[in-house]
Structure 1
Amino acid sequence: MIMTVKHYDGYRSFQYLTPGKHYKPYPLPQSERYRNTYEMKLSESEERIFNTIQKYYPIVSLRDHGFIVPKIPDDIIPYCRQLHTEFDYEGLARSGIDVVFENFMDGISIITSQNGLKWNDVILTLGIRYCDIAKQDTVFLAKTFKDLQEAKVSKRVAILPSLEAASILENEVDRVDVLYGLGIRCMGITYNEANTLGSGLTEKFDGGLTKFGRKVVERMNTLGMVIDISHCGDQTSLDVIEASESPVMITHAGARKVWDSPRMKRDEVLLACAEKGGVIGVCAAPNTTLSSKNPNEHTIESVMEHLEYLIDLVGIEHVGLGPDTFFGDHVALQDAFDSMLSLHESHGNQDYDSSPFVKGLENPTEAMSNMIKWLIKKNYKVQDIEKIVGGNALRVLQSIL
């Protein structure tokens, strides 16, 4: 049996209910969801460094998920139309992550809506997940910076409740306060398409941050909520950075100079984010942070090429890790929600073969660990690794929360 890094008491999602009676169960991946797709071997000295980092330094994922994708692709949509989607507490316990920005897959909450990103769906999703979380002791909901500091001490995972986009606000700025009251501490401005705040990254014309969007930015600053521009268009991103009094985060993205797609960020946006004191988290979702050096295979090497480009561009104090992984077939979920969320458009129109998964970074259990090991093997100083894997993110969070 593999020992978990965090406390895990054996709890499985909704085990207080009876499958088939209280909700419809769907076949889920079992032990294979923990498999290591890529073994990052370390020497004895490297292993000691890795163990030291895991034991003493805070590890922050700017975007990851405990969500489990059904085993059968045709089950994905009906599975997401019910309240009871399962969360992998054991997988997160094995990950070594101390703090995770978790949006509870709000972008694919389609309980009452055909297209997602609606107020009722998100509130229902938050409520049912919070209920499930209350029944176990591996993860806990963090609301303050002090809560985040408790994670490593208590050997638990601090979840910083986040939302993918602010589309659910419609034109109601006071909903920001309601979401804050419900524990949300980070929110994206747009997803791939435009909303009442601004333009998403797949829009042909980006009109920038709207008047309502500026009101939301101001309210988020006032409350102490992290602003995320990962899925915003270029002009909207620049407008948000300029309008915000607080640093802005790009929790999960990459560099367009490394892979030319709308999902990646222009240098101008990356530099503006850093100049405002923000942090950029490198994403590892399939078919996002590819590299023009090897466009037909998505691996840890291409993902980390984005990281090293960012370090050279904005400095090591402004980068972090936001793998954006979950458990099960990520590409199958992308395919299921492609038209609904403009996922293919966000990846661009380059001629490349879709990767079935990202070699070495398939799920939260292995992603952060392998990224840390990669940095160790590349002879990064421990002090610099500490900044990348959590220190930079915590510095920003301490100034906002």
Structure 2
Amino acid sequence: MMIDGLQCGHFDRDSFIKLKSAGVHGVVVTCGFWEGALESLDSLGQWRDLIRGNNDVAAFAYTPEDITTAAEAGKVAAILGYQNANLFEGRIRLVEMFAELGVRVVQLTYNNQNDLAGSCYEAEDCGLARYGRQVIAEMNRHGILIDCSHVGDRSTLDAIEASDKPIAVTHANAASLFPHQRNKSDKVLHALRASGGVIGCAAYRNITGDYYSGPIAQWCEMIARTVEIAGIDSVAIGTDRSHNFTKPDYDWMRMGRWTREVDYGAASAARPGKAPPPDWFQTLEDMQIIPDGLRDVGFSADDVAKITHGNWLRLYGQTFRKSNT
């Protein structure tokens, strides 16, 4: 079994069939980037329609046991997530309400500083705001995993310290292996290791680089080097793969409604559009070569199991359940 810590885009029946074929039985899906509360509810409704219409190949997962049950039934478990905290619209009580609707992963910020914390793309990371600390406490209380993938390093370290439960960086890489604003410093990776958090190594060329986007052995080499920094219990998979995206989707993802100007996100003026997929990852089905790739670079069977699914299952078990407080 494999679990992907984050994918995005327009999933359809074919997406689930291909993931199942690749041996992926759990995936955190992106239900929104910039949307407010009402649009986020619309997205949840659309996801319910999609899973209901394809319940022979897909199911929702609200606990780690749900993922295991889906895998045993030959289905792909969708774990509901958002890449921004806009869905809460500054209302602390909405955290509990969205948790009750099945949301299990929320990123504190996306590409911009917001009222919770600082983004990786701001000139200065403001750190965690007072409201951000309140939201983290509510997420801990109601079973939502805190994601800091697009969050600035200072804010990420603040979140690790503020959270009673371990957090995730669901889709990023080590900045010491490929320097990029979206990637995480060794200091952050050490803090994840010390706190029981997990980083999902990405396969998005713009933050992975051309070398680690080559053959599967080179991407798995990146994972091995990340394990050297963060430890075997804190490294997993978070490909950041997109489904059926077109230019308007990339424009929305990068620019939302907040600017009149062109923003490239993790891309650049030299590479403005859709980044070419890694050489080894031309189709979703290609994910099936990951376990053998990890074995070929020297990981044991137990370590492969941790990276492909065990570390996510452990973290979900620690975070998806409501606290007694």
Give deviations 1:333-363, integer Å, cap 9, x for gaps.
5467444488634457899998422211244
Rg bigger for which structure? 1
Q: Is the 8 A contact 2:62 2:79 kept in 1?
A: yes
Give deviations 1:84-130, integer Å, cap 9, x for gaps.
x88733223322112111123x12xxxxxxxx332222211110121
The answer as to 2:286 corresponding to 1:359 is: no
Aligned position for 1:240? 159
Which of residues 187, 200, 213 is equivalent to 1:281?
Answer: 200
Which of residues 5, 18, 25 is equivalent to 1:98?
Answer: 25
Give deviations 1:131-150, integer Å, cap 9, x for gaps.
12112221111112321221
Question: 5 Å matches for 1:288-327?
Answer: 288-290=207-209, 294=211, 300-301=216-217, 303-327=219-243
- Take 2:218 and 2:266, find their aligned partners in 1: how far apart are those partners? 18
SS at structure 2 position matched to 1:185? strand
The answer as to 2:183 corresponding to 1:264 is: yes
SS at structure 2 position matched to 1:161? strand
SS at structure 2 position matched to 1:289? helix
Seq. identity, %: 26
Q: Is the 8 A contact 2:199 2:235 kept in 1?
A: yes
- The unaligned stretches of length 5 or more in structure 1 are 1-57, 69-84, 108-115
SS at structure 2 position matched to 1:204? coil
- How far apart are residue 286 of structure 1 and its match? 3.1
The answer as to 2:80 corresponding to 1:161 is: yes
SS at structure 1 position matched to 2:7? coil
Query: Which letter does structure 2 place at the counterpart of 1:63?
Result: L
Question: 5 Å matches for 1:33-44?
Answer: none
- The unaligned stretches of length 5 or more in structure 2 are 321-325
Q: Is the 8 A contact 1:258 1:305 kept in 2?
A: no
Aligned position for 2:42? 124
- How far apart are residue 263 of structure 1 and its match? 0.8
Q: Is the 8 A contact 1:67 1:87 kept in 2?
A: no
TM-score, scaled relative to structure 1: 0.72
Aligned position for 2:6? 63
RMSD: 2.7
Aligned position for 1:252? 171
The answer as to 2:126 corresponding to 1:207 is: yes
Rate the CA distance shift 1:345–1:213 in 2: closer, same or farther, 3 A: same
Question: 5 Å matches for 1:171-182?
Answer: 171-182=90-101
- How far apart are residue 290 of structure 1 and its match? 1.2
Rate the CA distance shift 1:324–1:345 in 2: closer, same or farther, 3 A: closer
TM-score, scaled relative to structure 2: 0.87
Q: Is the 8 A contact 1:64 1:364 kept in 2?
A: no
- How far apart are residue 64 of structure 1 and its match? 2.3
Q: Is the 8 A contact 1:320 1:390 kept in 2?
A: yes
SS at structure 2 position matched to 1:287? helix
Q: Is the 8 A contact 1:307 1:319 kept in 2?
A: yes
In the alignment of these two chains, the number of paired residues is 315
SS at structure 1 position matched to 2:42? helix
- How far apart are residue 67 of structure 1 and its match? 2.4
Rate the CA distance shift 1:257–1:330 in 2: closer, same or farther, 3 A: farther
Question: 5 Å matches for 1:183-222?
Answer: 183-222=102-141
- Take 1:93 and 1:313, find their aligned partners in 2: how far apart are those partners? 31
SS at structure 1 position matched to 2:264? helix
Rate the CA distance shift 1:352–1:169 in 2: closer, same or farther, 3 A: closer
Q: Is the 8 A contact 1:337 1:343 kept in 2?
A: no
- How far apart are residue 269 of structure 1 and its match? 0.8
Query: Which letter does structure 1 place at the counterpart of 2:22?
Result: S
Q: Is the 8 A contact 2:206 2:266 kept in 1?
A: no
